[in-house]
Amino acid sequence: MGRVIIGSRDSKLAVRQSEMVIEFLRGAHPGLEVELATFKTTGDKILDRRLDQIGGKGLFVKELDAALRAGECDYTVHSCKDLPMEIPADLPLVCFSAREDPRDVLVFPKGAGEPDWSKPVGTSSRRREIQLRALFPEATFESVRGNLQTRLRKLDEGGYGALVLAAAGLKRMGLADRIGRYLEPDEVIPSAAQGVLAVQGRTDADSSLFDGFADSEVAVAVSAERAFVTRLDGGCSSPIAAHARLLEGGNRIELLGLYYDEEGQKAYRSHIEGAAVDAVELAYKLADDLRAGNGDLVE
């Protein structure tokens, strides 16, 4: 059947996520030879600044895009939340996976049953910080970078009173037992497409390889979430959040959204519901409403 090379960032979590795709391909296509190729991205190398200070999360894909174009791999696997909103025309997204738990979570120091508020909460995300300040007025925040294992080590060594992480990454790495408290989307709206894997390829990509892996309902939800962020001119490191839920067997959609007005230094959140076929238009309307200040003030 031939050979396929899957490209991935070289972090343990990224490799694990790519292995999930590889395991599917090997199971679905027994005659197909599937290999993994890893690449270190700019975003993995610069660890002393927040992502929004060094150009956003597009820094996690530049080297993978180059590898695709050069034929060093046939497909790349991404955490969809890390993808920039503008996708190159020559490197389309082939499919989206089923969604792992989309929630953010608090992780406590090993052995602790609650955060230590005398120390900062570790997060490099302004989206998370803005929403958590409203939930936990006593909290202070400090940037933390590095891969998942590095962040957990810094927490357990006493550098932070808690971490805010994505449930999906912890669960995929077998670390669900580290989760101290789940943050429901009604409390902290996740990053657009959080918990979803995206497979990217060239224009000649064979999407049928991923039949059975691709999730059509997730694709609708992700289209709404990414449309919301795009409408607000936000990259995936902007303090903008979106989370869609399909209702009534996939016929209707509810979208939660958060917008931060940089000029007024205020955050607004709201939701919208309608027919799933109108997902993108609903996302645009919610974005326009929040930009106009029509929503609940987060404070």
Overall domain count for the chain: 3
Task: Please give the positions annotated as active site.
Answer: 82
Give yes or no: residues 201 and 94 share one domain: yes
Q: At 52, is the pLDDT very low, low, confident or very high (cuts 50, 70, 90)?
A: low
Whether 256 shows a pLDDT value over 70: the answer reads yes
Structure confidence by residue, pLDDT tens digits, 162-191:
999 999 999 999 999 999 999 999 999 999
- The CATH number linked to 268 is 3.30.160.40
Separation of CA 164 from chain center: 13
Whether 130 and 24 share a structural domain: no
CB-neighbour burial class of residue 258 (10 A; exposed 0-12, middle 13-18, buried 19+): buried
Considering the entire predicted model, what is its pTM?
0.92
pLDDT score at 54: 45
- 94 and 108 housed in the same domain: no
Residue 144 shares a structural domain with residue 167: yes
If asked whether residues 82 and 114 sit together in one domain, one would say no
* Residues 178-224: tens digit of each pLDDT: 999 999 999 999 999 999 999 999 999 999 999 999 999 999 999 99
> Residue 142 above 90 pLDDT?
yes
Nearest to 115 by CA among 184, 164, 169, 177: 164
Residue among 180, 188, 207, 20 at smallest CA distance from 100: 20
pLDDT in tens, 69-89: 999 999 999 999 999 999 999
The answer to whether residue 154 scores a pLDDT higher than 90 is yes
User: SS3 sequence, 71-102?
Assistant: CCCCEEEEEHHHCCCCCCCCCCEEEECCCCCC
**In which domain, by residue range, is 46 found?**
3-98+196-214
**Looking at the structure, do residues 111 and 68 belong to the same domain, yes or no?**
no
Mean pLDDT of all residues belonging to the chain: 93
Give the residue, 149 or 55, on which the prediction is more confident.
149
Residue 105 has pLDDT above 50, yes or no: yes
- 205 and 265 housed in the same domain: no
Residue 53's pLDDT band (cuts 50, 70, 90): very low
- 71 and 111 inside one domain: no
- Kindly report the CATH number assigned to the domain that includes residue 144: 3.40.190.10
